[in-house]
Amino acid sequence: MIFHDAANLFPMEEETIGELAEDIRKNGQMIPIQLYHGELLDGRRRWTACQQLGIEAKSIDVNPADPFGYVISLNLHRRQLTPSQKAMVAARYREHFDKAAKERMQERKGNQPGASKANLPELPESSKGQSRDLAGKALGVGGKSVDHATKVLTKGVPELVKAVEEGRMAVSSAAVLASEPEEVQKEESEKAKRIYQGGGKKREAKEPNPSVNCQASPTSSPFTDARHFAVLAISQLTRIRLEDPLRVAALMEVQAYVNNQLEKGKKQ
């Protein structure tokens, strides 16, 4: 089975295929895979699970006008993705925008007549050179986050890519690590994995501080309100214990969120 390029935008979550195969063995395949011109567009895990069971996967044919947008629409809301994970998907989407633009340019020059566009997303003529922003908009992330993810995909070791895709590391932090030697990338990726896996340990919950008032003063200015809420946010972050196994991962997510908000502010 050939996977359509759009099907590979999102990570496949291979670690759960065994559980899915067992469920299909007991209850049957409830949802068919979707084929687009003979290529698998949606349902890689279901198809792989059926392969493990030695059975043919049930399938239906679909013919969306934009297969890439179709796959993003199917997966974006049924998966609980962090901003960093969305940025990785956007970076892969960006690759196909760039590929489509390059091939169409070659066609116009007469170097590649009749090229197939079945695996390429449409790039609006009015949006030339903006593949980063188009991909970011489709996934709801900023262009800078897409740049970070692109660097991770092009320069990062597989372990680093997986750390971001599994939500164990912020894409902004991974982009910095992508410039380091491979052994450093692997070491930090493994460290993030240990921290993430340690999140299953029982931790003592702390009661919120009743003295903290989360209401902004109605007479304060918008700037004062922003400062007020920022101070409140910092006060909450300082309550994360140093020994908390998810401390680093949590702070990385905060960093990614702040970077995204700062980028949005520059555009306004």
What DSSP string runs through 110-157? TSSTT---TTS----GGGTT-HHHHHHHHHT--HHHHHHHHHHHHHS-
| Percent of the chain's residues with pLDDT above 70 | 78
Q: Return the residue matching tokens 């188009």.
A: 134
- Cβ-contact 170, 256 below 8 angstroms: yes
Task: Give the residue among 23, 136, 8, 133 at the shortest CA–CA distance from 75.
Answer: 8
H or E stretch covering 72: helix 67-76
End-to-end CA distance of the chain: 46
d(CA 186, CA 160): 7
Residue 9 and residue 149 in contact, taking contact as beta carbons nearer than 8 Å: no
Higher pLDDT, 199 or 61: 61
The pLDDT of residue 78 is 77
Nearest to 138 by CA among 186, 192, 94: 94
pLDDT at 213: 41
Please state the separation of Cα 111 from the chain's center in Å.
35
Domain with CATH 3.90.1530.30 in the chain: 5-66
Whether pLDDT at 258 is above 70 = yes
For domain 5-66, give its CATH number from 3.30.930.10, 3.30.2320.50, 3.90.10.10, 3.90.1530.30. Answer: 3.90.1530.30
Q: What is the pLDDT of residue 252?
A: 82
Report pLDDT for 250: 81
What residues form DSSP beta bridges with 42? Answer: 34
10 Å CB burial of residue 10 (0-12, 13-18, 19+) is buried
Look-up of token digits 């372990």: 159
Average pLDDT over every residue of 96-117: 67
Q: What is the pLDDT of residue 160?
A: 93
| Closest by Cα among 39, 101, 107, 49 to 71 | 39
Mean pLDDT of 214-219: 41
With both helix axes pointing from N to C terminus, report the angle between 44-53 and 17-27 in degrees, rounded to the nearest 10: 70
What confidence tier does 225 reach under pLDDT thresholds 50, 70, 90? low
Residue 94 contacts residue 131 (beta carbons within 8 Å) = yes
With a cut of 60, say whether residue 17 has pLDDT above it. yes
Show the tokens assigned to 221: 């200015």
Dist. CA 106–CA 88, nearest whole Å: 28
